[in-house]
Amino acid sequence: MHEMSVIENLVRLLKNVCEKEKATGVVSVQITIHPFSCLDESNLNFMFSCIAGDNPLFKGTKIRVLRNKNLQEPEYIVDNVELEIE
């Protein structure tokens, strides 16, 4: 269930960012993960859609994952968030 806690934290972070930036939605999120992390892009996207549910902020949001080659970095880092702002 490690992915679940990552996604729950990500949803909280994205809600705060949307509120601060007065965004109407999140288009995409880019995450860099540790080379030996068990986090997987397809599983993260599936869990994100389950946890986000019908929240209009997250309709169609995609998570993109890059692998970091630096073993000293944390397990994951949110690198970029693309927002919809009207």
What CATH number is given to the structural domain containing 20? 3.30.2320.50
Range of the structural domain that residue 63 is part of: 2-84
Average pLDDT of the residues of the chain:
92
pLDDT of residue 47: 95
Reported confidence tier of residue 34, pLDDT bands at 50, 70, 90: confident
User: In the numeric block, which tokens belong to residue 58?
Assistant: 């997250």
Q: What Å distances lie between residue 68 and 6, 44, 73, 77, 83, CA to CA?
A: 17, 17, 8, 10, 24
Mean per-residue pLDDT, 44-50: 95
pLDDT at 43: 93
Number of structural domains found in the chain: 1
Which residues are registered as beta bridge partners of 84? 25
